Amino acid sequence: MSGMKKILVVNLAGLGDIVVSSPAVRALKARLKDGELYLLTFKDNIELVEMCPYFREVFIFDKNLSLWNFKEILKIRRLGFDWAVNLYPIYSFMGSLKMVFLFYLMAPKKSAGRDTGRKGFFYHLRLPESSRFPNHNLETMLGLVGLLGAEVSSKQPELWLRPDEDAVQKFLRRNGFSQNDRIVCIHPGAGNKLRRWPAENFSRFADNLIRKHGFKIVITGNEKEKGLAEYVVSLMEEKNSVGIAAGVFSLDALAACLKKSVLFITNETGPMHIASTLGVSTVIICGNTPTAFLPYRKEKTIILRKPFAGCSGGGFSRRDFDCLKSLSCEDVLSAAESLLNTA
C-alpha cells in the first residue's frame, strides 16, 4: 500500500490496552521501515510508552475537554499524516460521532479502524467486528494493521519499562519487610467501580493468606486508589504484614515488585496485563468481562468468575457486579493456592 510514510496510531484507552496493542504497533513499525510512527493516547499511559522505541513522538489527549487537546490536535494537523489508525473499538453511536469529529480535526489523508457493530462507518479502511467480540483484542488489532500490509512476526506483548528494583527494596525496608519475606501483591482497585471485588473481601482474603502461608502483602494501585488501599488495610487484622504501595510506586517500581512477588491478585484492570506479560502467577477476579479483553497469555493465570443469567458480558452493568460479588474469599484463596502449588 503506497503513501505510508507517516502514521498516527490512536489508542484512547487504558494502560492494559496499550500493552495489548504492542504486537500490532511492532508490526506496523516494521511495515513502515524508514517511515515515522506517532501515538495519540491519554496522559495516564505516558509512563508506559515514553520508552517505546517505535514512536517518534507521543501526543497527549486529556480525558476532559480542554484547550490542551486542541493544541495537540493542531500539532497533529500540521504534521499532515498519511494515515491515522484507531486501534480501539467504538462502543456507541455517540462514540462514533466523537471519533468522526476528532479525525476531521486531525485531517489525516486516510483513516483506518475497527468497524465494531458498524460504528466505524467513517473510516476509509475498516475491519468488520461483532459487538460480541468473538476474537481477542490483540488478534483484532493485528488484523487491523494487517489491512495496511503489516505482517505478524510475534504475538507476544511487550513492556517498555525499566523495573525499578531499588525503589521496591526501599519500600520493603520502610514497611519492615525482610529480604526473605515472600511477597504477594494485591490490587483492589479498578477504573470502573463495578469491576471492583468488595474491599472487605480483599481484607479477609489477605488475612487468610497471611495466616495460612506467612506471606507479606503489598497493596498496589494508583494515586486515586490510595484511599481504597487504606480502607482495605483498615479492615484487616494482620496489619503489620501489609505495605501500601498505591500512589507510591511508579510503573517501573510496580513491574519490579510484580517480578519479585510469588502471586498477584487483581480485579480486571490494566496491571493484570503487565503481570501477564512479565509471567507472574496471577488470579484475575472479574464479573462477566468478554475474554477478548483479558490477558492474551494464559500461562500462570487463573480467570475467576461466576457468571449467571442476566450478566451483560460487558463488565459494566450492575448485574455484572453481582457476578463479581458472588465470588467468595474461599473461591479466590483456592485459586491462589492452586497457582502456588503449581509453582
Please count the CA atoms within 13 angstroms of the CA of 55 that sit on its side-chain side. 22
In angstroms, the Cα distances linking 226 to 223, 249, 255 are: 5, 11, 18
How is the beta sheet containing 301-304 ordered, strand by strand?
Answer: 242-244, 216-219, 183-187, 263-267, 282-285, 301-304
pLDDT score at 130: 94
Pairing of strands 282-285, 301-304: parallel
d(CA 66, CA 88): 22
The pLDDT of residue 65 is 73
What does the pLDDT read at residue 321? 73
8 A C-beta contact, residue 170 and residue 249: no
Q: How many Cβ atoms from other residues are within 10 Å of residue 212's Cβ? A: 11
**The three cell numbers locating residue 324:** 463479581
Distance CA 1, CA 3 (A): 7
Q: Give the CATH number of domain 6-146.
A: 3.40.50.2000
The CATH homologous superfamily to which domain 165-342 belongs is Glycogen Phosphorylase B; (3.40.50.2000)
- Domain extent listing, the chain: 6-146, 165-342
Dist CA 282 CA 301 (whole Å) = 5
Answer positive or negative: Cα dihedral of 12, 283, 173, 232: positive
pTM greater than the 0.85 cutoff: yes
How many other C-beta atoms lie within 10 A of the C-beta of residue 174?
10
Which residue, 323, 229, 213, 228, is CA-closest to 262? 213
The continuous run of DSSP H or E covering 339 comes out as: helix 329-342
Separation CA 333–CA 149 (nearest Å) = 46
Answer whether 6-146 and 165-342 agree in fold.
Answer: yes
Matching residue, cell 505495605: 243
Going residue by residue through the chain, which has 343 residues, state the pLDDT in tens, using 9 for 90 and above. Answer: 667 899 999 999 999 999 999 999 999 999 998 899 999 999 999 999 999 999 999 999 998 877 889 999 999 999 999 999 999 999 999 999 999 999 999 999 999 999 999 999 999 999 999 998 999 999 999 999 999 999 999 999 999 999 999 999 999 999 999 989 999 999 999 988 888 999 999 999 999 999 999 999 999 999 999 999 999 999 999 999 999 999 999 999 999 999 999 999 999 999 999 999 999 999 999 877 788 999 998 889 999 987 655 555 444 556 667 778 889 999 999 999 999 988 6
Residue 47 CB burial class (10 angstroms; 0-12, 13-18, ≥19): middle
